[in-house]
């Protein structure tokens, strides 16, 4: 991130999966309580006592029932830097500097680490004025993290295991996978705060009043034990740790906290309760936490190298502001998924359609997200496609086209979108998406065997596109918020690229004759599209609608796949048109409204052959996320005039921001 110039709308802190994802929605870490991506408060509070005076470095202290309690002042926040895997803050006060780093090691080429529900908070303190200082650091997290709403009650425990001091808090009623929906938080499983054992470490499970006790004198005296279960709103229970830095000098003193969440059961998948991928060989929670501590040093080396390489690549591909966008979106794209393993031992990478309807494994949410995963591990794209293929083979799916989803997160027991009414489906959209993703997996080095096993479905969906895709009837596409549209020109491009994708798949099946036949059919469709879509210096929103336009983001696959179905001149004219339509905060999605979709805008910008044109189209998105008053995890649906969020946040589609990088590095 460009330090000092970019203000994220929200900063990722603890980002593991759709239920274990906490952010800071403020300019300074001390300006507000930290929050789950849905906006519900899931607080952490950090205090530091320097030579008898207490300061805050994270969150707030609860409003006191005591009339004369004054909240400790905030340390000066001197730095915020967001890289793909780390959000780093620096603070100063009273001759002491404190560095706080939030790291979730979401390394896509290591599924064991990727699945591990453990996130690091590292604390490093040192003297800056040449004097020694007496320093203690207090850090806590609340019971809010393991309930859906604060009127639920929690229980807790603590102990020590092989050098690790652990504290655990859980909802008092353990009803696994008890509901589905969008604006929900987990209320089953166990939440942990863990540290390494030391005579300088003290841990507490108590009410939030211990913050005030620490603020006054640095000592926390055990009082009356809290009774269990305890309602979160009334008791305000916290798990806390105090680190004694001792007489602090110029040499840094380091401390480490691991926050972990064992959800016990992660999702329901066609009637089966499945556990997270990391549990597949019987690993226990404490073994997982122990590995998190033992792996810390080498993981930090790997994370630092990954961040450096990714940001260098992004800078070269699209400039500093593009690199900022990729840094902010990386953890979000992954944390909107859950990695589990099915009863056959195959991985499933299941998305939650955050802040749109909560659908699970949504095809037209997977489709925009795949550039990130094609770059770093195409196996995860296969793991997105797998549940849709399985569902399409069941008696519950009666349509000749591809499904939209497999349920509502975390219950994947069959499609819920549009109540399965035909008129509410996305037939051309989802067929094209599935075919394009399948071809992309093969080209990116994924397993051809998976496509071969599902070739009958892929062929069926290709034939659907050949019959109905060139000139689509009145139907929804992925941009369903815009409503039904007849003769959608961009949707037609998707159908054409879907047929071309089947040609690619045929080549991987060593069937060159069929490969050439389907490629010829795609060329014929593209030739007809050129005539139908032409509107002079740009293409139409819909065939027959002169004077309209839209972002033709689906064209990017013609460049990625190297199929050359669409003339260079068509693509050049499109880019020139998008540049002319720019508003302060981006180019609109189409001529009907002033809103845009950030993922589709970056795909459309990636059509540009001139790097400067790409930068001109993407920089307004950087400005939007910098200026928006809506302090939420990266929203992909915003207004190009006001920078306001229309809806959507924390969605996996931000993985699509990596399309320019995928184009530059190549898929083959």
Q: What would the DSSP string read from start to end of 603-643?
A: HHHTT-SSHHHHHHHHHHHHHHHHH-S--SS--SEEETTT-
**Could you give the 3-state DSSP secondary structure of residue 506?**
helix
Alpha-carbon separation of residue 442 from 38, 371, 373, 507 (angstroms): 36, 14, 13, 10
Q: What is the pLDDT of residues 328-358, one digit of tens each?
A: 999 999 999 999 999 999 999 999 999 989 9
- Check residue 5 and give its pLDDT: 85
Separation CA 37–CA 649 (nearest Å) = 8
Mean pLDDT of the region 424-446: 96
Answer whether residue 3 shows pLDDT above 60. Answer: no
- Check residue 1 and give its pLDDT: 55
Separation CA 213–CA 217 (nearest Å) = 6
Alpha-carbon separation of residue 220 from 110, 207, 216, 660 (angstroms): 41, 12, 10, 53
Mean pLDDT of the region 601-622: 98
Mean pLDDT of the region 636-658: 97
Separation CA 152–CA 521 (nearest Å) = 59
Quick one: tokens of 265? 């059961």
- Map tokens 């949410």 to a residue: 365
Per-residue confidence at 387, pLDDT binned at 50, 70, 90? very high
**Residues 6+ away with beta carbon under 8 Å from 638:** 585, 586, 595, 596, 598, 624, 628, 644, 645, 646
Phi, psi for 169 (deg, rounded to 5): -135, 145
pTM of the model: 0.97
Mean pLDDT of the region 76-98: 98
* Residues 511 and 527 sit within 8 Å (Cβ to Cβ): no
Residue bearing the bigger pLDDT, 665 or 63: 665
Q: What is the pLDDT of residues 481-537, one digit of tens each?
A: 999 999 999 999 999 999 999 999 999 999 999 999 999 999 999 999 999 999 999
Chain-centroid distance of CA 447 in Å reads 25
The number of beta carbons lying within 10 Å of the beta carbon of residue 268 is 19
* Cα four-point dihedral sign 485, 489, 490, 496: positive
């Amino acid at each position: 991130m460009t330090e000092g110039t970019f203000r994220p709308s929200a900063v990722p802190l603890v980002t593991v999966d759709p239920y274990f994802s906490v952010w800071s929605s403020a300019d300074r870490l001390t300006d507000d309580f930290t929050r789950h991506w849905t906006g519900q408060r899931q607080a952490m509070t950090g205090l530091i006592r320097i030579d008898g005076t207490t300061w805050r470095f994270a969150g707030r202290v609860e409003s006191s029932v005591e009339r004369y309690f004054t909240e400790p002042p905030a340390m000066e926040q001197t730095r915020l830097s967001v890289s793909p895997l780390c959000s780093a803050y620096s603070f100063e006060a009273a001759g002491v500097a404190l560095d706080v780093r939030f790291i979730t090691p979401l390394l896509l080429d290591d599924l064991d680490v990727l699945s591990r529900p453990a996130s690091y908070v590292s604390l490093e303190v040192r003297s800056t004025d040449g004097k020694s200082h007496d320093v203690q650091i207090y850090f806590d997290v609340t019971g809010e993290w393991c309930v859906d709403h604060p009127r639920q009650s929690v229980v807790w425990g603590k102990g020590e295991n092989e050098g690790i001091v652990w504290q655990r808090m859980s909802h008092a009623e353990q009803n696994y996978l008890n509901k589905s929906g969008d604006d929900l938080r987990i209320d089953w499983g166990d939440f942990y705060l863990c540290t390494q054992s030391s005579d300088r470490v003290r841990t507490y499970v108590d009410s939030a009043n211990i913050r005030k006790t620490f603020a006054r004198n640095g000592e926390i005296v055990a009082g009356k034990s809290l009774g269990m279960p305890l309602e979160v709103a009334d008791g305000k229970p916290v798990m806390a740790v105090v680190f004694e830095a001792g007489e602090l000098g110029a040499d840094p003193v380091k401390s480490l906290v691991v926050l972990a969440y064992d959800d016990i059961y992660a999702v329901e998948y066609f009637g089966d309760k499945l556990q997270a991928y990391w549990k597949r060989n019987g690993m226990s929670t404490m073994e997982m936490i122990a590995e998190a501590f033992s792996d810390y040093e080498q993981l930090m080396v790997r994370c630092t190298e990954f961040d450096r390489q990714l940001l260098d690549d992004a800078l070269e591909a699209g400039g500093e502001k593009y690199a900022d966008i990729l840094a902010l979106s990386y953890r979000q794209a992954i944390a909107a998924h859950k990695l589990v393993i099915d009863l056959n031992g195959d991985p499933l990478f299941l998305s939650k359609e955050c802040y749109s309807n909560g659908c699970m494994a949504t095809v037209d949410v997977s489709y925009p997200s795949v550039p990130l995963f094609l770059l770093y591990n195409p196996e995860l794209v296969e793991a997105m496609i797998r549940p849709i293929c399985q569902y399409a083979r069941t008696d519950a799916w009666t349509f000749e086209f591809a499904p939209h989803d497999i349920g509502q997160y975390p219950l994947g027991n069959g499609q819920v979108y549009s109540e399965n009414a035909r008129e509410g489906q996305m037939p051309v959209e989802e067929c094209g998406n599935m075919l394009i993703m399948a071809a992309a997996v093969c080209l990116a080095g994924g397993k051809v065997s998976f496509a071969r096993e599902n070739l009958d479905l892929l062929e069926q969906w290709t034939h659907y596109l050949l019959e109905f895709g060139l000139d689509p009837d009145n139907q929804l596409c992925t941009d369903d918020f815009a409503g039904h549209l007849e003769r959608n020109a961009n949707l037609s491009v998707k159908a054409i690229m879907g047929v071309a994708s089947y040609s690619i798949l045929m080549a991987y099946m060593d069937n060159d004759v069929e490969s050439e036949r389907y490629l010829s059919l795609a060329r014929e469709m593209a030739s007809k599209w050129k005539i139908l879509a032409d509107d002079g210096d740009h293409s139409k929103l819909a065939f027959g609608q002169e004077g309209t336009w839209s972002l033709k983001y689906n064209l990017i696959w013609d460049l990625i796949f190297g199929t050359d179905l669409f003339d260079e001149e068509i693509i050049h004219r499109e880019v020139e048109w998008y540049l002319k339509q720019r508003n302060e905060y981006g180019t609109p999605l189409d001529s009907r409204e002033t809103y845009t979709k950030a993922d589709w805008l970056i795909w459309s910008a990636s059509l540009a052959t001139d790097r400067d044109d790409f930068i001109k189209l993407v920089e307004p998105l950087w400005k939007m996320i910098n200026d928006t008053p809506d302090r939420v995890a990266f929203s992909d649906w915003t207004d190009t005039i006001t920078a306001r969020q229309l809806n959507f946040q924390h969605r996996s589609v931000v993985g699509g921001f990596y399309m320019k990088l995928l184009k530059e590095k190549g898929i083959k």
